Amino acid sequence: MQKILIITPQVIIPPIDGGGKCIHSHVDMFSISNSVSIVMGNSDDRNQDMVLSQQYLRKCKEVIIFSRINKKIKKSGWLFKGLEGLKWFLSGKPRQAQTIESNENKNLVTEYAIKNKIDTIYLETPYAAELINIERIKKNGIKLITIEHNVEFLFLKDCLAKFGKFAWLELRRAKQYEQYIVNHSDLVIGISPLDVTILKNEFNIENIRYVPTYLEKKNVFWRNNESNYIIFSGTLSFYPNYHGIKWFLKNVFIKYADQYPNICLKITGRVDRKIQEEFSKYLNVEFTGFLSNKDLEKMFVNALFSVVPIIKGSGIKMKLLEALSYGIPTITTVHGAQGVPYEGNIPYLIGANEMDFLSHMIALTKNKNVRKNLGNSGKIFFEKIYASEENINTWTKCLEKKKSLYT
* pLDDT number for residue 405: 44
Average pLDDT over residues 338-342: 90
The H or E element containing residue 153 is: helix 152-159
Whole-angstrom distance, CA of residue 235 vs CA of residue 241: 7
Asked if 186 and 402 touch (Cβ cutoff 8 Å), the reply is: yes
Judged by DSSP in three states, 336 sits in helix
Whole-angstrom distance, CA of residue 249 vs CA of residue 232: 12
Cis peptide upstream of residue 14 (ω within 30 degrees of 0): yes
Whole-angstrom distance, CA of residue 268 vs CA of residue 371: 22
Q: How confident is the model at residue 141 (pLDDT cuts 50, 70, 90)?
A: very high
First to last CA, the chain: 23
Whole-angstrom distance, CA of residue 138 vs CA of residue 120: 11
Q: How far is CA 371 from CA 134, 236, 306, 335, 362, in A?
A: 50, 27, 11, 22, 11
* Segment 205-223, tens digit of pLDDT: 999 999 999 998 999 999 9
* Segment 160-194, tens digit of pLDDT: 887 888 899 999 999 999 999 999 999 999 999 99
Whether the predicted pLDDT of 406 surpasses 60: no
Whole-angstrom distance, CA of residue 319 vs CA of residue 239: 14
Average pLDDT over residues 290-316: 89
Average pLDDT over residues 262-278: 92
Q: How far is CA 63 from CA 15, 58, 83, in A?
A: 15, 9, 32
Of all residues in the chain, the percent with pLDDT exceeding 90 is 68
* pLDDT number for residue 403: 45
Q: What is the mean pLDDT of the chain?
A: 90
* Segment 1-29, tens digit of pLDDT: 899 999 999 888 888 777 888 999 999 99
* pLDDT number for residue 407: 39
Q: How confident is the model at residue 314 (pLDDT cuts 50, 70, 90)?
A: low
Q: How confident is the model at residue 401 (pLDDT cuts 50, 70, 90)?
A: low
Dihedral-angle region of residue 82 (phi above 0 means left; psi in -120 to 50 means alpha; beta otherwise): alpha
Helix ranges (H only) for 220-285 are 239-248, 254-259, 273-279
Whether the predicted pLDDT of 54 surpasses 80: no
Average pLDDT over residues 126-135: 96
Domains delineated in the chain? 3-214+389-397 (3.40.50.2000), 229-385 (3.40.50.2000)
Average pLDDT over residues 353-380: 97
